[in-house]
Copies of this chain bind each other. A is one copy, B any other.
Amino acid sequence: MNVTTIKDIAKIAGVSHSTVSRALNNSSALNEETKKRILEIARDLNYTPNTSARSLVLSKSYNIGVFFSSIYDGTSSSFFHNVIKSISEKVGSNYNIIVKSIDTYIESYNSINPKNFDGIIVVSQKKEDDSFIKKVIEKMIPVVVLNREVKDLEVNNIVSNEIIGVYEGIKHLINLGHKDIAIIEGKEDFESTKVRRKGYLKAFSEFKIDIMNEFIVKGDYGLESGYLRAKDLLKLEHKPSVIFAFNDDMALGAMKAILEAGLRVPEDISILGFDGSVFSHYLTPSISTIKRPIEEICYYGVKILFNIMKNKNVEIEKKSFKTFFIERDSILPKK
């Protein structure tokens, strides 16, 4: 015998396979005794249901797809881990979590079918994900998009307001007398880059700070790029008094570059990061950063997803959590 099926159990128990099915799903009225007997046999035979068969008849896959724009490029480890942890925790173990990277998911989105996914969570970074999201919507799969504000599509969308956090962080810097604020931006095609940029531009314009073009450099959210771009900044004749990196990883890289140049953090150059990742607190100096509530976003996203899965007609929801500036030791007033 290969794998135990309900038929095998039925034969041994001397009942029909439908009775076995009923017992296994402890459905309707059926004799307590036969039920007990069947369950016992199932256990002895090490029975586990064939999910494909069950899915086929129930039109329910017990699969939740978690699609990142990319799991390879531009996604920091702490963010990635945090997202998976939070989603897994909230989803529970009744469902499978299938992790995919949209950028390598070519084959014309071949498995995007409501029968294959009970729900889909898109952890989106790029506007280009819209074509994928659109497919998902067309297929009527319950879907929620996290992390990036989707403008052109009617879809459940949970994000954090990153402009506010950045604005506040920059405002704090300006209030401390800083004007020479350099920025290491993230990947150009990531929305987070554009949004965070808006945040500092808002603060700059409000406080009438001149934007120095040579102070704005492009990173890619990776540690190395933070290091390299900060090195570039330090070569400038007129050096910045602060470096604001668009994520904590790059902030760490930048700090290395500063210290390597024989300068001190924060005495010579202050640093501001973004994400509020755990490790940033343990650096010396601890890095001031802008915290985005990844867990809340994920929890809330899953909650909504399950709502839609249960009750198709709920209204589309857009929600934005706050981000906030966390002051730590990497910032000092301008000398």
List residues of chain A with CB under 8 Å of any chain B CB.
Answer: 3, 46, 48-53, 55-56, 61, 63, 71-72, 75, 77-78, 80-82, 84-85, 88-89, 93, 96-101, 104-107, 109-116, 138-139, 223, 226-227, 249, 252-253, 255-256, 259-260, 278-279, 281-284, 286
Known: A50-B113, A111-B48. A278 touches B105 (CB 8 A): no
Query: Is A71 a contact of B50 with CB atoms below 8 Å?
Result: no
Cross-interface CB contact of A111 among B51, B84, B227, cutoff 8 Å: B51
What are 17 A-B pairs at a CB distance below 8 A? A3-B113, A48-B139, A50-B113, A51-B115, A52-B52, A52-B53, A56-B56, A63-B96, A77-B78, A81-B81, A88-B101, A88-B104, A93-B100, A93-B107, A96-B98, A223-B279, A252-B283
User: In whole angstroms, what is the CA distance A234 to B116 when docked?
Assistant: 55
Distance in angstroms from A8 CB to nearest chain B CB is 13
Interface-central residue, A51, A114, A227, A260, by most chain B CB under 10 Å: A51
Distance in angstroms from A280 CB to nearest chain B CB is 10
Chain B positions within 8 Å of A255 at CB level: 282, 284
User: In whole angstroms, what is the CA distance A263 to B49 when docked?
Assistant: 60
Chain B positions within 8 Å of A105 at CB level: 93
Query: Is B115 a contact of A3 with CB atoms below 8 Å?
Result: yes
Query: Is B99 a contact of A48 with CB atoms below 8 Å?
Result: no
Cross-interface CB contact of A99 among B75, B99, B281, cutoff 8 Å: B99
Query: Is A98 a contact of B97 with CB atoms below 8 Å?
Result: yes
Chain B positions within 8 Å of A111 at CB level: 48-49, 51, 96
Cross-interface CB contact of A282 among B78, B112, B252, cutoff 8 Å: B252
Chain B positions within 8 Å of A61 at CB level: 51-52
Chain B positions within 8 Å of A96 at CB level: 63, 96, 98, 100, 111
